Each structure stands twice: as structure tokens, then as C-alpha cells.
Structure 1
Amino acid sequence: MDAIPAELDHALARRFETPFLLTVRPAAGPDDVALLIEDHPDGSRARLWRAGDEPSALLPFAVGVGAILTPDAKWVIDLDDGGGSEVGTLVAVSVDGERVVDLTPGRLPFVLRGLEAAHDGSAIVVTVVDEDGFHVLVIPAAPWGPPRTVYSSPIEAWYGQISPDGSLVSVDTTDHNPGIRRAALTVVEAESGEVVGVLDDLPAGPVRGVRFSAVADDPRILVNTERTGFARPAIWNHTTGERRDFALADLSGEVIPLDWHASSGRVLALHVEDGIHRLLELHEASDEVRVVAEGGAFANPDVADLHPFQWASSFAPDGAIRVVRSDWATPLSILQDDGDRLTELVAPAAVPGGRPLASSMVTSADGTRVQLWVGRPDGEALGTVLDIHGGPNLVWVDEYSPSAQAWMDAGFAYAALNYRGSVTFGQAFREGFWGTGGDREIEDVAAAIEHLRAQGLGDPASTFITGASFGGHMTLLSVGRLPDLFAGGLAHVAVADWSAAIAEMNPAVRSVWTTWVPPEMVERYSAISYLDDVTASVWINQGALDTRTPIVGVQRFVDGLGDRGGDVVMDVFDGGHEPTGLQNLEHDQRRMTELALRTLAGRRWNH
């Protein structure tokens, strides 16, 4: 393998040497304390942070990105999955690292799809998935006690949430329409598991729980609805059926509720129009809307993972607004809204200076507008890299990316596409890939390349497509279905044979992929079906412990392309689906950069 030039190698190393903030997890309860989870060379680590103080020293143990802190700030709750498989058991680790408590003794390993503590610290609620289905458990805390199952279904359910006193639990359920990811909100009693209320907006769209009121004797719940086809907040009283919807007719795009300070009647919401963020404060008693902040991103939403947001702005217990902000060149920071200005509380990590990305709306083949972020290097671009996010129900937001910056440092233009399936563009867009066998996503990739060519980028001889998870699948599918557009495909934790992959997936993801890729679509959706058309060089980076996209789903692709004389390389790393650690990121970026430069020099990747 050709070495990266020394100056570029030094710049690449600097991109991955400084730890930076991955997420902020405020603790439930009246104390203003949060868990700050950072990416470090050897993986994710955490600090405690109390408002007014500097963040603590690093806790003396590794902490997963989905971990939470108990309200008394004495315990970190995390999944022990043996190194990244995402299948394990729930543990409580004291913040000094000296005590570890198994919170689910005797239970077979499971996947997490929700984790939250009660405001009063009496219990935690955890949503687990195993071969028998989806289950919501309530676990007594202070002291720890045996878990109690309050909800179970063989059908997808996520994000169990608990009322402030631990008496009620809500869960986003889909047993009313199996296989269709349009949730209803089901509320059960925490002692008996008896259903006491269901809020269902079908067929107009899903309802998802956001937050119970923290006010004593207030049974209301903040929810996220889509009656208009776009996210809007609503407040629902399950005891009376009363509902207060925020129509916000003057705002186009999504208005996604992030948090609720019920005692002051204010909702914090993320307004997203064509991918651009604004942070809003909404008032229950009126239609008043105040713009808190704009420029950059203020949350990164998900649909059905461990938490509904990878990170998000929120209210402090006293009602102050904590603005968590990032952009493509700047890591996460925490600011406080003082009404007329923002005061920095936790500064962004001091990473090397970076370049911004500009947003464009690109018209796809059927007239649908898709968003494309584009950044350019200094001087003329050597080539172009198109990045495809995973999920597919995730989204590229204006958030710090050392990889994007490293590509531009190396002289490449970098683009990130929000294709059909991405969140924050409305229900029709999010569901736009259903039942199409990959056609809509492929059309969106082609439209992005056409737009880049109009900007003087996207030359097929020097354009590379990359992505992880579903983005890895799209990378492999694109080099087969759009062979004239790419010189190389760089796929991380990918799927190439959906039939083989689904059979080996963990149960939390198997059910939805069985629906999204039914037997009659497997061939069309699988990159292995297009091996004869692949002319690009291909690199696949797969995790040995991955249970979301198991290695069996790509091995036949590698073997088949190699047998046909194709240029294909597979690396296997010792980890799971979402490996953290700056060393891993640097290794992967260096590997991809070496391969791309090799193509520009007219050389194959497998020699």
C-alpha cells in the first residue's frame, strides 16, 4: 500500500488526536447534573458535570454512548455487551468504579431500545429486545431491586419512559400495525402493567412519547405527532383525553419537541426546514414562538435506537435552556440561553480549524427534493467523496465530523446526502423508500452526483461513495446499480446479501428488516445481485462482533467479486456495529485515504 505523503499524514493524525464531546445526557431530577460522554483514543469515556462547575475528571471506566446517570449522580447505567456486540446485560457502575451491580440477573442477553430514570430517583425503566420480543422493565433503585416486566409484545416497541414518581410508564408501540413503523403511545401502570391509555393518530401518522410532566399530580405527557405529515408537538392528558396540539401553521418543515418545562408551560423544539436548524421556545398558554438560537445544529434525532436523540438541547431543572450546539467544523459545546445572548458553559474541544459545508436542495428523478451538504478543499479538488448515512432513519445534520474534515484536508471535495428514508424532512420523505427495492435511494444518489457535476465535481474517475451500516449497503448497491458514477466504494459494517444478513441479525433489528426487505425484494435490494456490473474498486470494513449487519451478509459479495476478477478488499476489525475510539476512526480514515490516492495513481486496491 502506498504511504500517505508525510505532510498529509501529519494533518490526518491531528484530526483524530483531540477528544471531543459526543453527547450530553442530563440526569433526571431536580439536581442540575449531566453525564458528558466523549470520544477518546481508546473509546468513549465520561465526565460528570454540574452547572457552575468545570467538568469532572474522567470516570475510571469506559462508558457507552447510550449510558445514563442516576438522579443522585452516584451510578452510571450502561449495557455490558462484551466489547460492542450491542447484545448484553444492564449494569449499574458506581461513579468511582468500585461497585458493579447486575440489574437484570438471570435474564438472557438482550438489546436496548430505551433507558430512562424516574425524576424522583425511585426507579429506572429499560426497554429490552430478545428472541421473545420487546419488553419494558421497571427496576427499583436506591436500593436496587429485581426488574418487573410491565409491557411485552412480539412486535416492535421502543422508548419506555417513566413518570416522575415511577407510577406510570409510556412506550411507543406498533402492535396495532405490525411491521409498520408508525407508533402509538401506550401508557401502563408500573405496578400492574395494566393499560390506562393509548394515543393513536393513525392513519395520519405516528405518535411518540417525549416527556412526562415533572409537576406532581400532573398526568400530562408531551408527545411528537405527525397529523400534518410533519412533526409537531402536542400535550396529552391520558386521564381525560384532553389534547393541546401546537399547529404552528406559519412554520413549514418539522417542529420536533425536544423537552418540556411543564411548571413554566414551555416546550423546547427543533425547527428543521430543508435540513437547516433553529432552536425554538414554545409557550403552552399562547401561540408565542421565540427563536432561541440558529446556525449549526441543536439536536441529532433518531427513530428507533437506544435514545430518540443521539444528542439534544434541553431544559435545566430551573427552566434555563441549555443549548447543545455543533457544526461541521466545531465539536459539541453547551451554552445557556440568557434571553438576549448565549453564554458558553462548556467550550467545544480545541480541534484543528475546519471548513464549513453548504446545504443545497437537489431534485431527484421523481421531483422529490433531497438535501446535500457539500464542502470543498483549498484549491482544486483531487476528487469527490459522497457519504451516505446509516439508519436509514437517521440524518446528516450540521455536526462536527473529523472524517469530513480529513477528506478535505487530503484535497477531496466532501458531500453528505440526506436521501429518502432520512428523518426531519417529513413522514412521506422518511417512508419514501418503503417497498421500492432501493429505487428511490439510488435515484437520490444519482441526483446528488448530477448536482456535483454541475459544480465541477463528481468526475467518475475520481469519485468515491462511502457509508456505514445502511450507508454501507447503499455504497455496495450503488457501485452495482450506478457503475458509471464511481471509481471506488468504501463500505463500513455493510450488508450485501439481505437474506443471509437478516437470518443472523439481533432481534431488535431483524423484525423491521424482514418487513422492509421481504423475500420478494431480497434479490433487487441485495448488492450481490449486481456483481457482474461492478467496475469500481471496493473496500469493506466489517466488525467481527457486529449483530446488526453480521459479517455473513458481505462474505459472499467479497468472494463473488473476487472470483470475477474484481478489485475488492475486506478488513475485519475486533468490534461491533458502532465502534468508538479516535484510534479506530484515524485508522479507518487513513485506510480510506490510502485507497483513494491509490486509485488516483491508477492502481488497484487488492495488490
Structure 2
Amino acid sequence: MAHDWHRFFEARQCVSSRRGRGTDRDLELMTHDGPDGSVLTVWDAEKDVSRPIAGDYGDPRNAVLSADGTAILNLLDDNGSEMGHVWSLPVDGGPPDNLTPGLPPYTLRGIDVARTGDLAVVSAVDGDGFSLLLLDTTGERPPRRLFSSTAEAWNALVSADGKWAAVDTTDHNPGLRRFAVTVVSTSADGPETPLTLSDGPAEPVRGIRFSPVPGDDRLLVSTERTGHLRPCVWHHTARSRIDLDAPHLTGDVAPLDWSDDAAYVLLVHVDAGVHHVLEWHPETGALRDVPHPPGAFFEADIADAHTNYWASHYGADGQIRLLHQRFDQPLSLLRADRETGEVTPRWTPPLRPRGVPLTSHTLRSADGTPVQLWAGRPAGAEGPRPLLFSVHGGPQLVTVDRYTPEAQAWLANGFAYAAVNYRGSQTFGRDFREGFWGRVGEREMEDVAACVEWLVREGVAAPGAIFISGASYGGYLSLLSLGRRPDLFAGALAFVPMADWTGAYADMNPALRTAMRTFFQRDPDDEPEAFRQASPISWVEQVRAPVWIKTGSHDTRTPPRQVHGYAEALEAAGGDVTVEWFSGGHETSSRTAELADQQRMMDLVAMALRGERWARGPVTPPPPGSVGHP
């Protein structure tokens, strides 16, 4: 079946679906993988009619529909740099409109649209700090700043009628990513004093969504009073709240959405990485299981425009729309009938050939901390195999049971595959998510090593034939692993990696500089040794395995200069390193590019297993015009 591996990428059709906020029509904004990049489609759920959207609409994961469904709102930037402006882009292809023309370029960290009227809010980050901006989606009125701070503040939300806006803030806790939720009036003559929901300096609160009923100002939030995510309904004007503590449930319980009548809340209980869908009735406290097949039903984000990359939600008919996928099954939309419990598909993409499922395992790290690992062998295979070890980015993201064509490609070619949720991952509780703070790289290395040793001990992985791969923070951990634990890996395949924390600082966008100080719990000018110790560039003398890096010329998260500096240092130390550049920022979304990258990685791994070098000459510098270069 090895010759068919490319078909797993071709089967990857819809990767997310986000319902429009408007009350008049039941629309979904869907992101599809196309051969040349992601494609946005507006699906009219009532008519079951889909309409592809043409033109440049930025990173489709961040896009939202206007309330009337006639326009897409999103950040447009310079070649993926993530610094730009929010534009209104008509669905019918009319001329776009810059909604913030008078502002300096900014990074988007939140966007939401009122269900009625022409108002939207965005969280913007620039060199002056963090702002909550009120926008007129028609472009007739200039943006108005509702809130600003030099401390982290993002995740903009707006009430259904546009009268209130919320943002996750850290003014009560500067320098720590432990949020409170702050609500402000959008009216120029409304209350001037913001209202804040905080559970104290150690227990974050995050906004999820205002009630979808116009005139109902309640806000659905997540809390961590128990150390794990729990839902809460905050009635800020009444100074009251309803919490679901659910002490009988182990792990996180993540709130996803309100029903349209605001009577019910959709939840997902995450137990050791496995998802269980629930529905909560806040007024009575009733909690019930929602029938569903095994798999994942949402994927948490941490620092982009939305709380989740994709998530199950309610439809206008009052029924639950389960976005469902597994490692071996692409994203499908299922309808869960709340009365009968019957689950039926609305759309399910074909998958040929069939994929291989992965199994969740929980093992112990060096200090006894439980760590969750997804792992699997090729269909019908027994005994140790060469293995691709995947490390997600973020760091505060998570690997869920999500369709992964890269995993299926490796499995189809006779490799075992594993993916770790190391300390720093979401949905395993606050202590686990913050477990790397102040000691970046240390706990993650312990977790990676524990997983690799378990895979060898269990007879899944063949020693000497294990390759590590990841993007962004996952690319960072891939490079760091080769320097800190050169005995474990036969090679690293790193996308857009962080290789030198200190060297990257000057070229990072402002939002990432703030995040970096949160992770390290210090400033690079105050304690440079901590940043040096955490940087892969400091460990190049210990690297024994080959390194392949692919990275973007306009990346402001993991900038090009620090990648090139690492490659030159490794080359000078006698290392086998190859750097390949692409024109763009921190993300690649072209299916054609993904197929080419997968083939390239397979070729390199085959070379390594034959004992051949990867480098074919000196490392290539960033192209002219790259971030940090003239």
C-alpha cells in the first residue's frame, strides 16, 4: 500500500467548520484543503447549498462571517507575517474594505461578530500593547478602542445585540498567562467601569461566548477552580454565576457552545486525551451524555483568533452538530438529535484507502507525572518498527484524535507512528499545561524521553531508527532533543522551529515576545543564561544525527535569522544540516506543498537508514527581503 500514501492527503477535504453568528440564516464558514492552499466555502445548512469564496482572505482559520452573511472578516498581512489589518471581504467578490485603516499594523488575537446589527470586536496586539477594538463591519464608522493594556489581553467577544464586549485580561496578574474575563460596554454613554470575573491569581477564567439571545447579557466562560477546566455561566450585570464543578469527572470539561435559546451548553469531557460529549442545563444543573462514536470533537487553540481551531456546536434547528474525526477518518459533520439520541451524518467525506487508528496510552515521566501518548503500528505489523515521533507546536496546544494524513503516510510506508502530549499541552489540567513555565525545555525533554523509552520497551519502536518531527514549538523540541538526548533519535525533521530564543527576540511580533516572557518567567536581558540553556543552538556540539529544517521567510513567530544562525553553528560543529526556505510566514496550507514535504521527509529518512548524509552543500541563507534581513 506504500504507493497509495498520497491519497491520504487527497482525502483531507474539510478541516474546520464555524457557524455564522447571524440570526437570519443558518450558515457555516468551512475551510477546505485545496491543492494550492486552503479554500473557504459558505454552506447554507438549511438549503444544503455550498458556495466557494474567491480571492485573498488571509489565514482561513481566523475568518468569520458578518452577521448578514454577506462578507468575511479577517486579518490580511504581508506574506504570512501576521502583522496587518482586519478587512471586510464581500462574499460576492466585491471590493474589500479595510476596517482599521488609521491604525498601525497589528497581530490578531481574537475576533467576534454580534448576531444582530453591524458590530464586531477584535483583539489587536502591536508595539504599544494589547487592545480591544470595536469595529463597524460596514466600514462607515471608525474603530473605537474599548480596552487597552500592556499586559496580555486577547480573545475578543461581543454580545448578541452588540451592547457588551469581553476580553481575557491579565492586568490582575501581569506577566502570567492566567486570565480573568473583563466585560466593557460598547456604548459611548454606557457604564465606564469594566466588570471583571477573576477566581484569583492562580485560577484562570476565559471567555467562551455570550448568550446568543439578543438582550441576554450572560457570558459562558471556562474556569479552573478545581485545577481543571469547568464551565460557568456569568451574569455580569446581576453579579451572579452558575458553576458546574462535576467532582465525579476526572480531567477537563471544556465548554464549547450555547444552544440558540441559551438553555443548554455543549461540553466535552477530556479524560486522558479521550473525548466524551456532554450537554449541561445550567438552570437545573442537569448533565447528560450525548451519544457519539469514538474520536475527537474539538481541538483547542491558545493564541490565535479563536478559542478552538474547530469545535462541535449547535445548529439553528436546536440539534447538536458534532464535528467528528479520528486519526484514520477525516472531519465529518454528524447531527445528534437531542430528543432521540440518534446520530446521523450530514456530510462524511470518503477515505480510500482506509487509515490505521492510533491508541491512547498514559505513561509516567521521570518525576512520575502522567503523560498521554498516541501510538500505532502499520496494519497487521508486529514487532519493533522504524518510528516517526511527532511533537505538536504551541506549546499550549494539544494533539487530539484528529485525522492526520502525515501519520497515515508513515504507517502506509511501514513505519510506526507516535504523538506525545508533553507538559505544556492543553486539556490535561492547569498544572500540566503550566508545567514547563520557568524551565522551558526541561520537562518537555523528560516527557519525550519517557515516551521514546516506553515505545522501545513495548516493542513498538526499533532503537536507532526513531525520527522526531514537529512544527513551531514542536520544531524547537525536535532540535533540542537532538542536542540534549542524542542517544534517542536518528534524525530531526523540523518545520518553522525556534532554534535560538535570544536571537529570535528582536524579530518576533509583539504578541510572541510577551508569550516568551510568560514561558520563561523572566526577561532575556535580565537572565540571558536561562534563554541560552533552553536554546538548541547552545547544544549543537552534542548533535550526532542529521537535521532538516523547512522555514518561512516572513515568519514573525520563529524568525528566519535565528534559524539560519542555528544551522551555521551546527554546520561549523561538523553537523549534517539542511535548511530549505519557503516564501511565507508561520503556516503552510497548500496540499501540494504538504505532499512534497512528506515525500522529502520520506526520502531523507530512507537516506539516514542507509547511512547517507542529508546535506548536499553549505546551509542556505534566508532569501533577500526576509524578516530581519534587508
Shorter-chain TM band: over 0.9
Alignment RMSD (CA, Å): 1.6
Task: Report what 1:4 is aligned to.
Answer: none
Matching residue of 2:585: 576
The 8 Å contact of residues 85 and 98 in structure 2, kept in 1 or not, is answered as yes
Distance of 2:262 and 2:233 partners within structure 1: 14
From 76, 90, 106, the counterpart of 2:86: 90
> How far apart are residue 247 of structure 1 and its match?
1.3
- More deviation in 563-572 or 313-322? 313-322
- The equivalent residue for 1:296 is 295
Alignment match, 1:139: 135
Task: Give the stretch that moved more between structures: 83-92 or 576-585.
Answer: 83-92
Is the Cα–Cα contact under 8 Å of residues 180 and 196 in structure 2 kept in the other structure?
A: yes
Residue 208 in 1 paired to residue 206 in 2? yes
Counterparts of 1:356-367 in structure 2, within 5 Å, are 356-367=357-368
What's the CA shift string for 1:16-67, capped at 9, x where partnerless?
2345111111110222111111111111111111223334242122442211
Secondary structure, in 3 states, of the residue corresponding to 1:477?
A: helix
Q: Does 1:492 align with 2:488?
A: no
* 1:398-547 correspondence to structure 2 within 5 Å: 398-517=401-520, 518=522, 519=524, 520=527, 521-547=530-556
8 Å contact from structure 2 (residues 334, 346) kept in 1: yes
Judge conservation of contact 1:497–1:528 (CA < 8 Å) in 2.
yes
- Contact kept, 8 Å, 1:271 with 1:278, in 2: the verdict is yes
Pairing 1:40–2:34 present: yes
Alignment partner, residue 310 of structure 1: 309
Residue 392 of structure 1 deviates from its aligned partner by 0.5
- Is 1:247 aligned with 2:245? yes
| CA pair 62-358 structure 1, distance change in 2 beyond 3 A | farther
Residues 281-305 of structure 1: CA distance to partner in whole angstroms, max 9, x if unpaired? 1111323222212510000012222
Tell me the equivalent position of 2:562: 553
Q: What SS does the aligned partner of 1:446 have?
A: helix
Per-residue displacement from partner, 1:214-242 (whole Å, max 9, x unpaired)? 23432211110000000000111112211
The SS at the match of 2:5 is helix
Q: Which residue of 1 aligns with 2:170?
A: 174
Shift of 1:331: 1.2
> d(CA) in 1 for partners of 2:492 and 2:326?
26
Is the alpha carbon distance of 1:549 and 1:219 closer, same or farther for their aligned partners in structure 2, counting shifts above 3 Å? same
Q: Specify the alignment match of 2:399 in structure 1.
A: 396
8 Å CA contact 2:22–2:69 kept in 1: the answer is no
- Pairwise CA distance, 1:210: 1.0
Identity of aligned residues (%): 46
Look up the SS of the partner of 2:133 in the other structure: strand
Hey, what's the Cα distance between the residues in 2 that align with 1:147 and 1:403? 42
**AA in 2 matched with 1:109:** P
Tell me the amino acid that sits aligned with residue 297 of structure 1.
Answer: A
Q: Is the 8 A contact 2:504 2:559 kept in 1?
A: yes
Tell me which residue corresponds to 1:591: 600
Decide whether aligned partners of structure 1 residues 377 and 144 sit closer, same or farther in structure 2, where only a CA change above 3 A counts.
farther
Query: How far is 1:141 from its partner?
Result: 2.8
Q: Give the AA of the match of 1:563.
A: A
Partner Cα separation in structure 1 for residue 440 and residue 212 of structure 2: 44
Superposed CA offset, 1:574-604 (max 9, x none): 1110111101111111111111011111111
- 2: CA distance between counterparts of 1:551 and 1:250? 48
Instruction: Answer whether contact 2:12 2:405 (CA < 8 A) is retained.
Output: no
TM, length-normalised to structure 2 = 0.92
Offset at residue 79 of structure 1 (A): 1.4
User: In 1, are the aligned partners of 2:39 and 2:53 still within 8 Å (CA)?
Assistant: yes
Q: Distance in 2 between matches of 1:59 and 1:413?
A: 39
Q: In the alignment, what sits opposite 2:99?
A: 103
Which amino acid in structure 2 is aligned with residue 334 of structure 1?
A: L
Task: Please report the TM-score for the alignment, with normalisation by the length of structure 1.
Answer: 0.96
Moved more, 553-562 or 274-283: 553-562
Q: CA deviation at 1:459?
A: 3.1
Q: Which amino acid aligns with 1:15?
A: F
| Compared CA separation, residues 94 and 444, structure 1 to 2 (3 A) | same
Judge which range, 457-466 or 424-433, deviates more.
457-466
Aligned residue in 2 for 1:59: 53
Distance 2:406 2:389 in 1: 12
Matches within 5 A, 1:272-283: 272-283=270-281
Classify the secondary structure of the residue corresponding to 1:169: strand
Which secondary structure does the structure 2 equivalent of 1:502 belong to? helix
2-structure distance, mates of 1:350, 1:415: 21
Say if 1:388 and 1:474, in contact at 8 Å, map to a contact too.
yes
User: Aligned residue for 1:352?
Assistant: 353
For 1:185, which of 172, 181, 186 is the aligned residue? 181
- Counting matched residue pairs gives 600
Distance in 2 between residues matched to 1:225 and 1:295, nearest whole Å? 26
Kept after mapping to 2: 8 A contact 1:21/1:349: no
SS in 1 for 2:238: coil
Tell me the alpha carbon deviations over residues 133-189 of structure 1, each in whole angstroms, 9 at most, x when there is no partner.
Answer: 111111123464321111111111111111111111110001221110000000111
> Alignment partner of 1:586: what SS?
helix
Change (3 A) 1:328 1:393: same
2:623 paired residue number: none
Distance 1:137 1:352 in 2: 47
Equivalent in the alignment of 2:17: 24
Moved more, 97-106 or 479-488: 97-106
Provide the rounded CA distance (Å) in 1 between the counterparts of 2:494 and 2:607: 17
Q: Against the structure 1 CA distance between its residues 206 and 69, is the aligned structure 2 distance closer, same or farther, given a 3 Å change threshold?
A: same
- Between stretches 311-320 and 494-503, larger displacement belongs to 311-320
CA distance in 2, matches of 1:590, 1:561: 25
In the alignment, is residue 369 of structure 1 matched against residue 370 of structure 2? yes
Distance 1:218 1:283 in 2: 16
Asked if structure 2 preserves the Cα contact closer than 8 Å seen for 1:125 and 1:162, the reply is yes
Structure 2 gap ranges (5+): 617-630
Residue 66 of structure 2 is aligned to residue 70 of structure 1 = yes
Instruction: Write the distance in 2 (CA, Å) between the matches of 1:362 and 1:580.
Output: 33
- Does the CA contact (< 8 Å) of 1:362 and 1:371 recur in 2? yes
Higher mean C-alpha deviation, range 95-104 or range 417-426: 95-104
In structure 2, the partner of 1:12 is: 5
- Per-residue CA deviations over 1:409-458 (Å, capped at 9, x if unaligned) read 11111100000000000000000001123211000000000110122133
- Return the alpha-carbon distance in structure 2 between the equivalents of residues 210 and 382 of structure 1: 43
**Aligned residue for 1:233?**
231
Report the Cα distance in structure 1 between the residues aligned to 2:130 and 2:49, rounded to whole angstroms. 36
Please tell me whether residue 269 in structure 1 is matched to residue 267 in structure 2. Answer: yes
What is the one-letter code of the residue matched to 2:364? T
Question: How far apart are 1:264 and its partner, in Å?
Answer: 5.1
Aligned-pair CA distance for 1:271: 0.5
Supply the distance in 1 between the matched residues of 2:64 and 2:474 (Cα, whole angstroms). Answer: 28
Gaps in structure 1 of 5+ consecutive residues: 1-6
